[in-house]
A and B are shown apart, each in its own frame.
Chain A
Amino acid sequence: MKQSIFQILSNTALTDSVYKMVLSGDTSDITAAGQFVNLQLEGMFLRRPISVCDYDGETLTIVYKVVGKGTEAMSRMVPGVKLDILTGLGNGYDLTLAGDKPVLLGGGVGVPPMYNLAKKLITLGKEVTVILGFNTRSEIFYEEEFKALGCKVIVATADGSYGVKGFATTPLAVIDYTYFYTCGPEPMLKAVYKATNTSGQMSFEERMGCGFGACMGCSCKTLTGYKRICKDGPVMKKEEILWEA
């Protein structure tokens, strides 16, 4: 974990409620796809944990949905604004288990962390299929970006307004895959858990206090003991997940 000051390079709308923010700063503590950063916003007490969409030596890209006053304030920020950010939080995805043909399933605002993951898997020479699930056509983002990486991209919409009609899990029946990686709302994660016939990893979300393992605000029960979503997660292996009623 590292605390440092980032500067906004761009902050643009991808849909009515989803924004892409690119920042420059010290990304040296970001070590894996699926990690997150924790942003301090003026006038708000707690930081905002946001997953890393992409990063390189100098820049950090986050894609976030406006869901409350914090993300609403972020959506109005202009290039040049400086933000205090904790980086290198969370475990991230383990790439070593992917096999030759991993499938990545992103649902809604669970799509962004799939991007750097896909990029890394492509670099490793994997044949990557990405399934992007959205409610409706107007909410779709990043389809072209994933295609540009060289992934096979399938888009599913719940209302059938674009691509396959159904959920992110719907296309699973017709593709061949060796392992899965996913991020999305919990009902989707449960559906992925049931619909997949391989092992895999899923990223969870919870209201956090600190984001670095100190407060026990985001604990969950797993088959391998109590875990902190922020520090021991947010990525969990399928085998350790314990769904509570």
Chain B
Amino acid sequence: MVETTLVTPAETHRPNRIKWGAIGDHTILILGALLMMLPPLLALTTASHDAVTIHREGLQLTLGDDLGKNFRTAMFDKGGFTQTVDGMLMLMNSFILGIGFAVGKIVISMMAAYAIVYFRLRFATLAFWVIFTTLLLPLEVRILPSYEAIQKLGLTNTYTGLIVPLIASATGTFFFRQFFMSVPEELAEAARIDGAGPWTFFVDILIPLSKTMIAAIFIIMFVFGWNQYLWPTLITTDEGFFTLVRGIKQIVLSYTDSQIPEHGQALALAIVAMIPPVLVVVFFQNWFVKGLTESDK
């Protein structure tokens, strides 16, 4: 800053303008944050009211007295069409799907990626193409034939039928392949000179080296598995296998069929369905962002 007694209009003006700019930036960001935050927050506040209030007045801005009651009823009272499922069971199924899918996908794709990258195989190129063609067709596109296949195998209403077909895509393998390619060549060479076999190298060197990547992929895959809707809708017709996300429509329908829809309880379940993936994404943000932007989905 030049110290001078003569203050030119430009100098008095500029600091002001910069401040206004920053205020503008923050205003836009705050509005954006509100846009993203408000709907789930309103869901929470509304879930704390009784059915009559929600039915008559809609979304609520303030906290009411029924938050605990709505959550208790939604989680522990048997409901659904068959009166046999409660929120806890669906929560458990959601965890089975989320974790089962993420772990299964990571184990299977790491093994395949290791085989493709680190071995001189005649059919490695063929295996590569066989696996990577699956990237071309997401499950949604081949949903009907996949369902037929599962039905022929008698796997409807099983965790296997729910989880394994979702793993049949190369996203994980592709990601680990990319990562293994970026590992320095010298590492494998050095390991070989030291007498480490391919299995020792994989377990003792490569897997520990991939820890961050595994964590990042786990977060993305957990959220992806947890949030599955179309596939579970087709495969699980038995309410005992419903996940929270899969059950949400049935819940909403069965609650809204009554005279006064139990929106409070439906919202409580929706919030329970949001919390685990949201917590994972928020707490492991750095890994998650790294995994997302580097894996290119």
Q: Do A and B come from one complex?
A: no
